[in-house]
Structures are given as structure tokens and as C-alpha cells.
């Protein structure tokens, strides 16, 4: 796989250089203008995709930041007589700053995702356009830039603009590629699939989204500044046009939002189609045709044209799949921890309520290093809530939680992961669009702090530990339930946690599968990881647990060795009622 990596980046550079030489061919001006347009749309679509495609936060406000760039250049060059070339970085920076401020506020609000984010960014466009229209930035009549000198770097001023646009397009696609291959990109894709799980695994979601948005706006601002000179006369209506954002989105969606080259591909297709279908009566209808093509692609190829290519490639590869032999990298066996009496995790009077329902009413318990602790209790006793609270998915209302000496009660989830805690989910929540190996690598990278290559290697060894190495390159949907649970487990283990919380890992398994699962849990402990597991299936609890804690009504009512606890009258009463006690 890595053999293909270098060529892609290299290919981009070569393509860019080739395109840079086009003006030297002295072709009719039409070609340069056409290519300029292509670069323009590549920049817009790709920059949009960096946040919206990768992380799934569809922004409808790209025109706002484009416009910020346009008007920064327009104002700086006309009112302040700043040289054009100098105004460009300013254009990018202003747009990026604007985007960052907005993102800093919006991303803190947990509920603003999906279409709400889209609506909000759209509203931003209108706000900015109104400001531009009513202040000295534009004031109504627009800004004339014809008088601004454009340096002739490689020939005519027009060629300068051509090269500048090419430069921005190149930067945007290169950035998209670089991010796609980096930790940052992987984190963004994880955010798109399941943001909450990503956060709990250790991905710094806020920071990543903010940075992606800032970069996206920077590029939009840059191309905005260039475009201002290209059109030489800017108006608010044409600049802050919602249609611009929509076109960029459509191009990205057409090409494929999950790929670094998708938006560029879409931009090329649409621009070429638009230009080639001019002339005659059909000139007006060609936009209709493009709209129709877009709808058809979206419905039948949800991952765009690029997605269609990828699907074909996979099918071809699948047919020719041989045995994938990976040199078995064995997991370094840690010295098996004895069950000492030193508490690894301590909860003191932990409280959590939801809308009037007191789920945890003061839970006090401790987890000792190296033990397997079973957490049981009747329905509604608060077991899952406790796990969610300890892992940082929910905030506690009161009480203390101390992990290995650190107070984690009010720490953000991704930091708790870094401190050595991992969890699995009752219904496995894998990142459905990442491959199995990447699911696990993500945890190794963000929870365990490894780099990308090391993460992948570690991931493969963890998959071997759980018996999934043959399925490393498959997608989670292709696995059966037991395999997905083991994937969850491998992912939890890949961050090398000191404590792992298992939430009903045995539910839904056949007795034979259950035996496999129990065996794996014991191996996990033998490697040195402390295990807390929530379970209903009593036979399994008696079999597996060193110690058992019983929750009822949000409080601990008993704890001790399993058989002893299950005979405790309080426990019997909690489960069966008075008659049986």
C-alpha cells in the first residue's frame, strides 16, 4: 500500500508543474480562462471538503469566507493601496480568523451538528453580506478593481492570476492529501462516523474540527482574493451568493466527499460539462442536466464517482485475494499483575441524575489492580450509567472518581483515555467506514500516543491477539457479532489501558461464543490489564469474576467474592423479592 503513496504526492507536483507551463504554449485565451475556472472550483470544493467532507459537518456558509477574502483584497488594494500580492495572505488570514472565531463558539455547543450546523453557517453568510453591503466595505455600488496593478510575473497580468489560482488549487489538494494520510485526517473521519466514540478513544475532537475549519476558510479566503482581481468588479450579491456554496458542495458530493481527490474530480467534471454544453438553446438547460446528474449520482453512488471507482477496485482485489501473511508481531507480554489490594480506580459518593431520575445515588466502590471485577444489579440499577460516567461520556453531578491517583471526575473523555482507561459498548460501535485495522490503529494512536505506522503495526498484533488478523482489511459491517465484539475489545486494548470497562460483552452470544469470549477476557487480565465487566448472565459472572459489586437503585448494596455475595439476603431480595430471601 505504501508503494502507492509517494506517486500520488509526486504526481500532484508533476501535474502542477505541467499546468504551470501551459501559458507558455500561447494557446487562445479561452483555455487559460477555462483552466482558471477549474482551479477556482477545485480550490473551493476541496477546501470545503476538508471540514465538511472529512468530518461530516456540512457547512453551507463557504461563500461567507470566500467573500471575506474577496472584500479583504478589494478593500486593502483600493482603500489602502496595499500591493495586490501582499493582500492575498491577509485575505486568507481574515477568512481563517473569522472561521476560527465562529467555530470556537459553535463547536462547544454539543447539539449543533448535522443540518443545524448547515443552517447556522448559512445564516453567517447572510450576516456577513449585510455587513459588507452596509459599511464602507462595499456600501452598495460594488468595488472597482480595474485600476489595481497586478504584477506580471510570467508574462501578462492575466497569467499571474492563472498561476496564483493554480498555486491555491495545488495547495488545497495537497493539503487534502496530507491530511487524509495523517493522524488528523483519521481523527476527522472517525468524528464523521461516531464523534462521541472518537472522543472517548482519545481523539481531540474540538481541536481537530477547529483546525480543519480554519484551514478550509483560509483557502477560501485566498481564492477569494485572487478572484476579486480576476473579475475586477465585485458586488455583494455576486460574492456572497449562496449558489456558490451550493455549487461547491455539489461538486464535492459528485466526486466523493470521503476522498482527497473527490472534490477536485467533481470540480473538473462539472466545469468541463458546463463549458462544453454551451451554445444554442441547450445552454440554459445544461445546468439542469448537471443537477440531474448530481441527483442520480448521489442516489446510486452515495460515495460519489470516486466511491464508484473504489468499489470496482475492491471487487477486483477481492477476486484476486490471496492469503495475506503478516509477519506476526507478538504483543509484548507484560508481567502479569497480581491482584494487589492497591485500588486502581476509586469512586466516592458518585451521583448522576437525568431529568429527575436519580440514576446514581452515591456510589462508592473501588477496583483493585489486576482483578476481574463483576458489576451486577437488577434492571435500572445504574450499571451502564456508572460506566458512562467513569469513562467520561457523561459528567458526574457529584462525588469523586480517582484513576491511578488522578481525579477524573470532571476531565474530558479524550484525556481520560490518555490516562489509561478504555471501554467497550453493549452494542459494538465500530467506525463503520474505517477498515478493521484502522479502527484499532486509531485507538493505538490516540489513546496510546503512537504514530501512524507504529499504530498500524500494533493494531495488527492486537488483532492477532483477538484472533481477527484475517479480517484486518475488511469493513466492520462484514464481520459477525462475535467478531465485532472482539474488534471492540481489540480497539479498547490497543491504547494499552490499565483498566478496561466491558459493558455486557456477552449479550447476544451463543454458549459456544461465550466460552471464547470468557477465555479472551481472562487472557486480557493475565496480560496485566484490570477488568471491570457489567453482566447479567450469572453463570458467567460466577465463572469469571474475582470479586463482585452489586448495584441496586443507584447504590452499592453488596460486594465480595461471587458466591458469597449471591447468597447475601440483601442481594437475593433485590433480585427476587422478599419471599426468597
Instruction: Write out the binding residues for other proteins, residues 300-329 only, by CB under 8 A.
Output: 302
Task: Identify whether the C-beta of residue 371 lies closer than 8 Å to the C-beta of residue 339.
Answer: yes
Which of positions 232-251 make contact with other proteins (CB under 8 A)?
241-243, 246, 249-250
- Nearest one of 422, 402, 404 to 524, comparing CA atoms: 422
What binding mask, one character per residue, do residues 489-528 give for other proteins by CB under 8 A, x or -? Answer: ---------------x--xxxx------------------
In the complex, the smallest distance separating the C-beta of residue 276 from other proteins, rounded to whole angstroms, is 16
Q: Which is nearer to other proteins, 222 or 294 (CB)?
A: 294
In the complex, the smallest distance separating the C-beta of residue 7 from other proteins, rounded to whole angstroms, is 32
Q: How many C-beta atoms surround the C-beta of residue 130 within 10 A? A: 12
Q: Which is nearer to other proteins, 463 or 566 (CB)?
A: 566
Kindly tell me which residue out of 97, 120, 301, 411 binds other proteins, with binding defined by CB under 8 A: 120
Which of positions 351-370 make contact with other proteins (CB under 8 A)?
357
The helix-helix angle for 205-231 and 62-78 (nearest 10°) equals 50
Handedness of CA 455, 192, 502, 471 (dihedral sign): negative
In the complex, the smallest distance separating the C-beta of residue 425 from other proteins, rounded to whole angstroms, is 13
Kindly tell me which residue out of 14, 231, 292, 329 binds other proteins, with binding defined by CB under 8 A: 292
Q: Which is nearer to other proteins, 269 or 408 (CB)?
A: 269
DSSP string for 181-240? TSHHHHHHHHHHHHHHHHHHHT--HHHHHHHHHHHHHHHHHHHHHHHHHHHSEE-HHHHT
> Using alpha carbons only, how large is the chain's radius of gyration in Å?
29
Determine if 285 is a binding residue for other proteins (CB under 8 A): yes
Kindly tell me which residue out of 130, 182, 272, 278 binds other proteins, with binding defined by CB under 8 A: 130
Kindly tell me which residue out of 207, 311, 432, 567 binds other proteins, with binding defined by CB under 8 A: 567
Determine the Cα–Cα distance for residues 224 and 40; give it in Å rounded to an integer: 9
Which of positions 53-72 make contact with other proteins (CB under 8 A)?
58
Handedness of CA 408, 411, 412, 417 (dihedral sign): negative
In the complex, the smallest distance separating the C-beta of residue 176 from other proteins, rounded to whole angstroms, is 20
Q: How many residues touch other proteins (CB under 8 A)?
A: 75
Determine the Cα–Cα distance for residues 486 and 502; give it in Å rounded to an integer: 11
Kindly tell me which residue out of 14, 31, 83, 115 binds other proteins, with binding defined by CB under 8 A: 115
Determine if 339 is a binding residue for other proteins (CB under 8 A): no
In the complex, the smallest distance separating the C-beta of residue 320 from other proteins, rounded to whole angstroms, is 29
Q: How many C-beta atoms surround the C-beta of residue 191 within 10 A? A: 25
Which of positions 461-490 make contact with other proteins (CB under 8 A)?
480-481, 484
What binding mask, one character per residue, do residues 392-431 give for other proteins by CB under 8 A, x or -? Answer: -----------------------------------x----
Long-range contacts of 335-343 (CB under 8 A, 24+ apart): 335/528, 336/370, 336/526, 336/527, 336/528, 337/369, 337/370, 337/528, 337/530, 338/370, 339/368, 339/369, 339/370, 339/371, 339/546, 340/368, 340/369, 340/370, 341/368, 342/368, 342/369, 343/367, 343/368, 343/369
Q: How many C-beta atoms surround the C-beta of residue 543 within 10 A? A: 14
Range in contact with other proteins (rule: CB under 8 A) among 16-24, 83-91, 277-285, 518-526 = 277-285
Q: Is 401 helix (H, G, I), strand (E, B) or coil?
A: strand
Which of positions 131-150 make contact with other proteins (CB under 8 A)?
131, 133-134, 140
Determine if 432 is a binding residue for other proteins (CB under 8 A): no
What binding mask, one character per residue, do residues 84-113 give for other proteins by CB under 8 A, x or -? Answer: ---------------------xx--x-xx-
Q: What are phi and psi of 503, to 5 degrees?
A: -100, 100
Determine if 563 is a binding residue for other proteins (CB under 8 A): yes
| Cβ contacts of 112 within 8 Å, gap of 6 or more | 106, 120
Determine if 384 is a binding residue for other proteins (CB under 8 A): no
Amino acid at each position: 500500500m505504501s508503494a502507492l503513496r509517494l506517486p500520488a504526492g509526486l504526481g500532484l507536483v508533476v501535474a502542477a508543474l505541467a499546468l504551470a507551463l501551459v501559458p507558455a504554449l500561447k494557446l487562445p485565451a479561452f483555455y487559460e480562462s477555462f483552466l482558471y475556472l477549474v482551479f477556482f472550483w477545485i480550490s473551493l470544493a476541496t477546501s470545503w471538503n476538508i471540514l465538511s467532507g472529512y468530518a461530516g459537518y456540512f457547512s453551507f456558509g463557504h461563500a461567507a469566507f470566500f467573500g471575506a477574502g474577496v472584500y479583504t483584497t478589494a478593500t486593502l488594494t483600493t482603500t489602502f493601496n496595499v500591493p495586490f500580492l501582499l493582500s492575498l495572505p491577509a485575505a486568507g488570514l481574515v477568512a481563517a480568523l473569522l472561521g476560527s472565531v465562529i467555530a470556537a463558539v459553535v463547536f462547544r455547543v454539543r447539539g449543533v451538528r448535522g443540518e443545524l450546523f448547515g443552517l447556522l453557517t448559512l445564516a453567517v453568510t447572510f450576516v456577513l453580506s449585510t455587513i459588507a453591503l452596509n459599511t464602507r466595505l462595499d456600501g452598495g455600488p460594488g468595488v472597482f478593481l480595474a485600476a489595481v496593478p497586478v504584477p506580471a510575473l510570467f508574462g501578462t497580468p492575466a497569467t499571474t492570476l492563472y498561476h496564483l489560482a493554480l498555486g491555491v488549487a495545488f495547495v488545497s489538494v495537497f493539503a487534502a492529501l496530507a491530511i487524509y494520510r495523517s493522524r488528523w485526517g483519521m481523527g476527522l473521519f472517525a468524528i464523521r462516523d461516531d464523534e462521541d466514540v472518537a472522543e472517548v478513544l482519545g481523539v481531540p475532537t474540538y481541536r481537530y474540527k477547529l483546525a480543519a475549519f480554519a484551514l478550509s476558510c483560509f483557502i477560501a479566503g485566498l481564492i477569494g482574493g485572487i478572484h476579486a482581481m480576476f473579475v475586477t468588479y465585485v458586488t455583494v450579491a455576486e460574492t456572497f451568493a449562496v449558489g456558490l456554496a451550493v455549487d461547491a458542495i455539489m461538486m464535492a458530493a459528485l466526486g466523493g466527499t470521503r476522498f482527497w481527490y473527490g472534490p477536485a474530480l467533481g470540480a473538473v467534471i462539472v466545469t468541463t460539462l458546463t463549458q462544453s454544453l454551451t451554445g444554442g438553446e441547450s445552454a440554459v438547460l445544461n445546468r439542469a442536466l448537471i443537477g440531474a446528474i448530481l441527483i442520480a449520482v448521489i442516489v446510486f453512488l452515495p460515495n460519489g464517482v470516486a466511491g464508484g471507482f473504489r468499489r470496482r477496485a475492491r471487487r477486483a482485489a477481492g477476486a484476486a485475494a490471496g492469503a495475506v501473511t503478516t509477519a506476526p508481531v507478538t504483543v509484548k507480554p507484560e508481567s502479569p499483575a497480581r491482584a494487589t489490594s492497591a485500588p486502581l480506580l476509586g469512586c466516592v459518593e458518585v451521583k448522576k441524575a437525568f431529568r429527575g431520575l436519580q440514576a446514581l445515588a452515591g456510589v462508592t466502590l473501588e477496583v483493585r489492580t489486576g482483578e476481574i471485577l463483576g458489576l451486577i444489579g437488577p434492571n435500572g440499577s445504574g450499571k451502564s450509567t456508572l460506566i458512562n460516567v467513569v469513562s467520561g461520556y457523561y459528567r458526574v453531578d457529584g462525588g469523586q472518581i480517582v484513576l491511578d491517583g488522578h481525579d477524573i471526575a470532571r476531565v474530558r473523555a479524550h484525556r481520560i483515555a490518555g490516562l489509561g482507561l478504555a471501554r467497550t459498548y453493549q452494542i459494538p460501535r465500530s467506525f463503520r467506514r474505517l477498515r478493521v485495522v484502522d479502527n484499532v490503529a486509531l485507538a493505538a494512536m490516540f489513546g496510546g500516543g503512537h504514530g501512524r505506522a507504529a499504530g498500524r503495526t500494533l493494531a495488527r498484533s492486537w488483532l492477532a491477539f483477538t484472533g481477527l488478523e484475517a479480517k484486518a482489511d475488511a469493513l466492520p459491517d462484514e464481520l459477525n457479532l462475535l467478531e465485532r465484539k472482539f474488534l471492540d475489545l481489540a480497539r479498547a486494548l490497543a491504547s494499552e489501558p490499565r483498566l478496561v470497562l466491558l459493558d455486557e460483552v456477552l449479550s447476544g452470544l451463543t454458549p459456544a461464543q461465550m466460552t471464547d469470549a470468557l477465555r479472551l477476557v481472562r487472557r486480557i487480565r493475565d496480560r496485566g490489564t484490570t477488568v471491570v465487566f457489567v453482566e447479567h448472565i450469572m453463570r458467567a459472572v460466577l465463572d469469571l469474576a474475582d470479586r463482585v459489586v452489586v448495584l441496586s437503585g443507584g447504590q452499592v448494596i453488596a460486594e465480595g467474592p461471587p458466591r458469597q455475595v449471591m447468597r447475601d439476603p440483601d442481594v437475593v431480595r433485590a433480585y427476587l423479592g422478599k419471599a426468597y430471601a
